[in-house]
Amino acid sequence: MSNIALIIVETDGVEFYTDAAGKSGISQTGLAKLCGVNKSSISRLMKEIKTHPTSDFLKDLLDKGFRVADLSTKTPSGLILCSSELSVAVIMHYASTGKKEAIFALTKFAAIGFNSWVQSLTGWQSQPQSQPSEPARLKNWTPPELYPQMTQAEFEAIPLMSNGFTWNPHRNDDNANDKNYGK
């Protein structure tokens, strides 16, 4: 990322940005909030990528040819901005450890990305909408406020994950042939 003009929108402490080239990302503080961890946890993870990333998701970034210097930048005001690639890798990392906030964010980003991808493949375009004069601001960052279609109960029902797989206490490999499995 370079020092160019940014559009930054804050929603209850989560700063999202887009630069003049259309590249988007999130602040380090906002990323911590979306992952359900504190900012120092994100800082440690970002330092780790420079030396020896232990997270497979962060290793994948470097394997794909991303340079560490291009994954985040610091604004003159001190705001640390994480690229979309770094943000997704960090969210995936925390989702794989079972952090519900990260699972929620990843699920929403995936759904939006899926819709955008399919719409681009099919050539579908939305009708232009008038832009609000000021971005919406939320009082408290909770799933029902950010995504009205999801209730707090639905958010709390997101299954915990371990090593990227959904944990199901009623399933093991021996249950695969059980005629009562899933009942």
pLDDT tens-place string over residues 56-89: 888 888 888 887 778 888 887 888 889 999 999 9
Distance separating alpha carbons of residues 117 and 83, to the nearest angstrom: 19
**C-alpha gyration radius of the chain:** 19
Q: What is the mean pLDDT of residues 78-104?
A: 92
Distance CA 65, CA 58 (A): 12
pLDDT at position 52, please? 81
83 DSSP β-pair partners = 25
Q: Tally the domains of the chain.
A: 1
Mean pLDDT score of the chain, rounded to an integer? 75
Answer yes or no: is 132 within a domain: no
Least confident of 15-29, 112-126, 132-146, 148-162: 132-146
Contact by Cβ (8 Å): 57, 40: no
Q: How far apart are CA 32 and CA 50, in angstroms?
A: 19
Say if residues 138 and 12 touch (Cβ distance below 8 Å): yes
Percent of the chain with pLDDT over 90: 26
Residue 27 scores a pLDDT above 50: yes
Q: Is the pLDDT of residue 172 over 80?
A: no
Q: At what angle do helices 84-96 and 28-35 cross, to 10 degrees?
A: 30
Asked whether residue 183 is assigned to any structural domain, the reply reads no
Domain range for 31 is 6-120+141-177
Structural domain contains residue 130: no
**pLDDT for the residue numbered 95:** 94
Name the residue with higher pLDDT: 139 or 25.
25
pLDDT > 70 in the chain, percent: 68
* Confidence at residue 162, expressed as pLDDT on a 0 to 100 scale: 42
Q: Is residue 134 part of a domain?
A: no
42 contacts 31 by C-beta, under 8 angstroms: yes
Residue 163 makes CB contacts below 8 A (sequence gap 6+) with 96
pLDDT, residue 129, reads 66
Q: Looking at the domain assignment, is residue 136 inside a domain? A: no
What's the confidence (pLDDT) of residue 63?
85
User: What is the pTM for the complete model shown?
Assistant: 0.64
Q: Which residue has the higher pLDDT, 89 or 158?
A: 89
- The answer to whether residue 106 is domain-embedded is yes
pLDDT at 46: 85
CA distances from 48 to 45, 59, 127 (A): 5, 10, 44
Nearest of 110, 93, 81 to residue 36 by alpha carbon:
93
**Assigned domain for 131 exists:** no
Span 41-62, average pLDDT: 85
pLDDT tens digits, residue range 124-155? 887 776 665 555 443 334 454 444 555 666 65
In contact, 71 and 61? CB cutoff 8 Å: yes
From 58, 100, 60, 54, select the one nearest 82 (Cα to Cα): 58
Query: Pseudo-torsion of CA 50, 51, 54, 55, nearest 10°?
Result: 0
Q: How is residue 37 written in tokens? A: 């961890």
Asked if residue 96 is part of any domain, the answer here is yes
